[in-house]
Structures are given as structure tokens and as C-alpha cells.
Chain A
Amino acid sequence: DAKTTQPTSMDCAEGRAANLPCNHSTISGNEYVYWYRQIHSQGPQYIIHGLKNNETNEMASLIITEDRKSSTLILPHATLRDTAVYYCIVSDAGNMLTFGGGTRLMVKP
């Protein structure tokens, strides 16, 4: 699996958009970008995934650059409950998910 690089931590004001970057410069053509998050004392939770096109669901939006070497997860209106560790993972369809260290997002009032 391609490796990803994420900032260790980020802060965001409540109600503002949280933009979490991820670099995956060695991603191959058949690898998807997945985002999971892990709230304290819980198991990871799937957020969204994409291959080439931008994706949006009820939780977040995923913006993937045209060269696919980086992506951004956007939480449009962050709440205190969005405080969590966010993992960006690249993987073949159906392949294993290899979690890195993730980004610790702190949403502040």
C-alpha cells in the first residue's frame, strides 16, 4: 500500500470548516483514498472514500487533486463532537487498510 503523510495535529473553531490534508504521492492507479476517524475510546469509523472524483456524503467532502497525489477531507461545519483522530489511508479495492498515525483534530468552542 502507498504511504500517506498527514499533519500530526490541527485545531479548528466550532462552526467553521475543518480541512484535513493528506499527501499520498506514490499512490497507484487502482488505489482508493479512504478516510476514517476515531473518537476517544471508540473504534475507528468510516467517513468517505474516493478514487479520482471528488466525493460528498452526509459527513464530509473529499477533494482529490487531479494528479491524485494529495487529498483534503472537509468537515463543512465542525462541531465539538468532531474532535477525533482522522486517518487517511490508500489501498487497493478490497485490500487491507493500513492505518498510520493520523491527524488529531481538536475542535474548539
Chain B
Amino acid sequence: EAGVVQSPRYKIIEKKQPVAFWCNPISGHNTLYWYLQNLGQGPELLIRYENEEAVDDSQLPKDRFSAERLKGVDSTLKIQPAELGDSAVYLCASSLRGGALYNEQFFGPGTRLTVL
């Protein structure tokens, strides 16, 4: 069974440029998460989707970040324009469903973003 797929694995851009990250969750997983991980810290949730609906986006900086999961399968996270402080690893995770007895999340390898 394929795991969570993310692309690209690495991205280097100049500040003020736009950037997009793509995630394909495990087949059949209704819940999709985007996390941000700064160096030396644990992942921080940006947004959670239940199918195509964003049910928790309180931590997403909406002035420059946007996300979509149009058909309830794969998802895209966008930053426009990128700032130096956005340099981090962006992780995507999926799980069978939210609100389950327990919530085992499966993570992709992440996209390492460097903003110059």
C-alpha cells in the first residue's frame, strides 16, 4: 500500500515568490492534515480537512496561505507571497477519519521549503 505522497521534496524560492505543495493521501483516508515544522521543533497543525471540507483552519495564516482539497482526495497548500520566515518543512498527513476511537495519522516525507 502506497503511503502519503508529497511533492516536491525540496523547494528553493526567493522571497515574495509564490509556492505550492501537493499531497496525495492514503487511498480511502477521509481526513487530511497539513502541518508546518520549524527546525528543532515538533509539527504544528495548519489545517485539517474532512473530505473536501476544511474543519479546522484556525492556525492557517490566511493572509498569505491557502489550501484546497477540491475532490476530497489530494490537496494543495499555497503560499503567496513567501516570506523568509516561511522556511520550514511542510508535512501532509492522513487518517481514516476524524473523531475516531483513536486517530493514527500517517505522515508523508514532507516538503522542505527554503526562502532566500
| B and A form one assembly | yes
B102 touches A44 (CB 8 A): no
B56 touches A96 (CB 8 A): yes
Majority secondary structure, A binding face: loop
A43 touches B4 (CB 8 A): yes
> Binary interface profile of B, 99-116, with partner A (CB < 8 Å = 1, else 0)?
111111111111000000
Q: A46-B105, A93-B100, A93-B101 are in contact. Are A101 and B42 (CB under 8 A)?
A: yes
- Report how far A34 CA is from B100 CA in the complex, Å: 14
A93 touches B109 (CB 8 A): no
B102 touches A93 (CB 8 A): yes
CB contact list, A74-109 vs B, under 8 A: 85, 87, 91, 93-102
CB closest residue in chain B, given A87: B42
A residues near B48, Cβ cutoff 8 Å: 96
B67 close to A (CB within 8 Å): no
